[in-house]
Structure 1
Amino acid sequence: MDLKDLLGSPESVKRGLPMPFVEISLARGKSAGYVEEVSRAVHDALVAELNMKPDDNFQLIRQCDPNEMVFSRSFRGGPRTGNWIVFRITDGVDRGDRAKRRLYKTLVRLLHEGPGVDPADVFVMITLTPPENFSFADGVIGSDVLAAEALEAARDESAVRSAYTRAEMAYALTELFAHHDRDLILPMLRDDFVLDVPASLPYGGEFVGPEAFGNFFAGVPGGSEVWESFESRVDQVLGGDDHFTVQLTNRAVPKATGKMRVFHNLWLFEIAAGRLAGARLYADTAAATTD
């Protein structure tokens, strides 16, 4: 199989990331206490009606001059006043109509009971975005955060799962090659998993089952008998209909030559019924270069 045939489109995440981000726009000149009550009202409504975690609180609050707030006093509601407030909520999960109805009603009630905002002055927009459009910190994509949280929760519950999401598999593969972490991927392997490494390599062969896979990746393939040093960088993890491909750039010093070489590998992982069924290494040694 040609390497180009193995490359699929970037893996998309099927599940959402529950993390509402709130932008609040209101008239300038309100007291600090008023702004704090508005902030608390929307946060409490999200916790109560969308099951948001209490410490999951990210808001940007903007106070606007009168000429920066342009709105109809009566279109589809009202009458609106100069106390008009806009809430823009970006979420990663579609909560459904019933949850949104509850959120809107709870929000206007809390705003009326707290800072005294008239319900007619409350304008809410909810937009959805997939997890890969979030990065909470450190340049980590949101889909990796979602997968890590799901896998960690399953591990805490000691749950035995028969299938895994594609996002979880992609994250586990990244952790395997980027950080040599086998713990996440081993439960995803079928009992009859087959790892196929070209026999032309010093560490080649066929390795059957999760235990053999774990032993193979316990260190650098081939170990100190083959390499003086070996470093890998994950270029990308791509998903097709029934497989993943992991593209690596390696910088290594083989013991046979003692010279630094840069070369690219591609791993093909087969998917079957929500589990990883097999893997094969395609080693592009012909493209290796010497520094």
Structure 2
Amino acid sequence: MNTNNRGELPAGRSFSLFGRRSFCGALLASVVFWFIKKSAALAHHSREGTPASANHDPQPIVSLGGDVPLVRIDLIEGTSEAYRTKVGEIVYQTLVDVLKVPEHDHFHVITEHPKGGLPFDRNYLGIHRSDACIFFQITLLSGRSVELKQSFYKTLVDRLHEEVKLRKEDAFINLVEVPKENWSFGNGEAQYVTTVS
């Protein structure tokens, strides 16, 4: 834009040097303010949207659930009481060690069945099961991670194999997750549910 020494515009309108400088300064300040605000917003968004794996702090794979498992153990009749007791102890200790249930949280139902009373597929998924197959159904509060469950399966089967010589193919495990209001430990009350007055 062309002006004369007095800052006059070609159309005869005047625009002082001081006025131009003030306008440019205000414009520059607005741009700087916008840039700072935008940068702060982007930084906040980045922090909020960063996946846990990108954090420098190690993230545990454990997703803790609740306590109080109810364990059902079913097997074909013919085993000794000592054997069944040992199997129950191994399950209990693995629950404490891996799923972190509290000690003395020990509720098991161990049932023997006649061979015809416990039918199962002997080769489902290519896993050969024998008459020694044991079925473990564990009901517990929901919330454990997939990784933790996988660790529990492996640890339990390894211990059963080492301590009672159960073939790894003969351990059938089923976890049943339920919400906390599905438990009553006596007196007809839901002890895990907070009463709302």
* TM-score bin (small chain): 0.5 to 0.7
What is the root-mean-square deviation in Å for CA atoms of aligned residues?
1.7
- What residue in structure 2 maps to residue 72 of structure 1? 121
Listed one character per residue, the Cα deviations across residues 139-168 of structure 1 (whole Å, up to 9, x for unaligned) are 220333xxxxxxxxxxxxxxxxxxxxxx4x
Q: By percentage of residues, which structure has more strand? A: 1
SS at the partner of 1:36?
A: helix
Q: 1:16 to 1:138 in 2, by over 3 A?
A: farther
- What residue in structure 1 maps to residue 155 of structure 2? 106
Rg comparison, structure with higher value: 2
Q: Report if aligned partners of 1:16, 1:130 keep a CA contact under 8 Å in 2.
A: no
Identity of aligned residues (%): 31
* 1:193-208 alignment, distance < 5 Å: none
Q: Report if aligned partners of 2:136, 2:172 keep a CA contact under 8 Å in 1.
A: yes
Alignment counterpart, residue 93 of structure 1, candidates 131, 142, 156: 142
Listed one character per residue, the Cα deviations across residues 12-38 of structure 1 (whole Å, up to 9, x for unaligned) are xxx964211100001101011110111
User: How many angstroms does 1:78 deviate by?
Assistant: 2.0
Give the 4+ runs in structure 1 shifted more than 3 A: none
Tell me how far apart the structure 1 counterparts of residues 86 and 126 of structure 2 sit (CA, whole Å).
24
Alignment counterpart, residue 165 of structure 2, candidates 116, 124, 135: 116
Tell me how far apart the structure 2 counterparts of residues 94 and 133 of structure 1 sit (CA, whole Å).
14
Tell me how far apart the structure 2 counterparts of residues 85 and 35 of structure 1 sit (CA, whole Å).
10
Alignment counterpart, residue 90 of structure 2, candidates 23, 30, 41: 41
Q: Report if aligned partners of 1:88, 1:124 keep a CA contact under 8 Å in 2.
A: yes
Q: Which runs of 5+ in 2 are unaligned?
A: 1-63
TM-score by length of 2: 0.64
Q: Which runs of 5+ in 1 are unaligned?
A: 1-14, 145-166, 175-291
